[in-house]
Every structure is written in C-alpha cells, then in structure tokens.
Amino acid sequence: MLEEKVAIITGGTRGIGYETVKIFLENKAKVILFGSKEETVTESINKLKELGLTAKGYHPNLTDYKEVETTVKEIINEYGKIDILINNAGISANKKIEDTTTEDFKKIMDINVLGIFNMIKAVTPYMKKQQNGVILNTSSMVSIYGQPSGVGYPASKFAVNGLTKSLARELAPYNIRVNAVAPGIINTDMVSSLPKEMIEPLIKTIPLGRIGTPTDIANAFLFLSSNLASYITGVILSVDGCARS
C-alpha cells in the first residue's frame, strides 16, 4: 500500500511506533524511525533486521528545532523527499495536580506538543514543494474525555487535536493531508505503567470488551497514510473499541 513512499515515524522504537514501522516496511515503504536514544534506535533496527526488514534511524532531540531541521535535511539529501510524517513520540503522566510541578507540566507539553510542531515545521517546506504529503499525529482518547489525574497529558493531546485540525486547513491547498489517530487503552509500556485502578474501570466501558493492540493503531496509520484515505483530512480518528468515559 505504500510502495516507494518515504516515511518518518517518531517514537518508533517501541509499542505503537515500532509496530507502525514494521507494518509500513511490510507495505514497502522506506522508513526512517526516530527514537530518544541511540541505543534504542540501534536495538530496534537490529530487531527489524531479524525479521528481514530494513530501516534507518535517528535520535534527534525533538524539542530542539535546529536539531530536528538538520536531521530532516539529511533525510531529504538521502531520499529526495518525505511523503509521510507520523508524530508518535510522547510521554504520559498520572500525578494529581497538587503533586505536578511546573517542570513536570512543561516537559509533557514540550515533548507532546512542541516536538510535533518542530517536526511538522521542518518537513512542511519539502511537502509544499512536492505538492503532496501526509502528516499524522498520535492523539488519545483522553483528548476527548479527559482523565482523572495527570492533567498535562490530556491537555497536550487537546493541543495536538487543535494543531491537527488547523494545519489540515492551512496545508490542504498544497495537497498535504493532516489527521490524527486517538488510541483508546492500548497494550503498551505506557499503559502498563498506569495504576490498575485507573485502567480496569475504563476497560469495563469498552463495548468490544478488550484493550487494543499496537497493531490496531498501526493499521489505522497505514490506512490514513495510503491513497485509500485521499479525501480524508482534519480528522481525529478514534481507535478505542467505542470507549466512553
């Protein structure tokens, strides 16, 4: 579905990001994965090699625009284009507000919002020149329903939704589609670190009766990246088993 497409996937070393890298490679995309550390990037690339898949990796600081811009230029110099950007890197939070420092809140907003802004700002000139591109952001069900603690995380995902919808309008004249996927409760390291008393009541609200898998989300990214979704932009696609707060 993605033959000869060049895709950057941030947060690509584990969970949803890693599964998306794998599925994109299986669908013949050329994938560049970003991770937070050199060792995790190398480890992920080696895991993919064991599956017969080849990807390239970088580990820029997503909150540093100059570093992001330099990395994107390297990719352009090697591949000549960027067709797809998936902004999946992010961190979670579950502290009550009285226990959340301003530094805690700023860190979440920097990684979850500023990091996405920096990536989009860096790739947009090339996509505009191509008159083509797909930008996908990882949102969350909590951007719609909120959560009982850890206010920084839903606040950051509300911001991601606003960024997605606004840029969909701004970039549409250049044939650049901008959408987001809002996962529900997904079986990832991030979710497994949350307290059971937060997760178990939520599972009971899901009509499909299970938490999701990284593959469920990766398949949504695959669809939105493909030509099958050529008339879809500005959408926050919930992939949550019909979860409700």
Q: What's residue 243's pLDDT?
A: 64
Q: What's residue 146's pLDDT?
A: 83
CA distance 58 to 75: 10
Most confident of 16-25, 137-146, 204-213: 16-25
Q: Global pTM? A: 0.93
75, 32 contact by CB (below 8 A) = yes
**What would the mean pLDDT of 126-143 be, rounded to a whole number?**
96
Mean pLDDT in the chain? 94
Between vectors from CA 237 to CA 184 and to CA 147, what angle results, nearest 5°?
35
- In this prediction, residue 126 has a pLDDT band, given cuts at 50, 70 and 90, of very high
How many C-beta atoms lie closer than 10 Å to residue 159's C-beta?
18
Q: Using one digit for the tens of pLDDT, what is the confidence trace for 180-213? A: 999 988 988 767 777 778 778 878 888 998 889 9
Residues of the chain with pLDDT > 90: what percent?
81
Catalytic residue among 65, 153, 174, 231: 153
Residue extents of the structural domains in the chain: 6-239
Q: What's residue 11's pLDDT?
A: 96
The yes-or-no verdict on residue 55 having pLDDT over 60 is yes
Is 79 in the active site? Answer: no
For 136, the token pair is: 């996908």
Spell out the residues 6+ positions from residue 164 whose beta carbon is closer than 8 angstroms to its own. Answer: 137, 139, 178, 179, 180, 234, 236
**What would the mean pLDDT of 86-114 be, rounded to a whole number?**
93
Q: What's residue 194's pLDDT?
A: 72
For 4, the token pair is: 């000869």
**Domain at 6-239: CATH code:** 3.40.50.720
Buried b (16+ CB within 10 A) or exposed e, 48-58: beeeeeebebb
Return the higher-pLDDT residue of 231 and 97: 231
Q: At 184, phi and psi to the nearest 5?
A: -85, -140
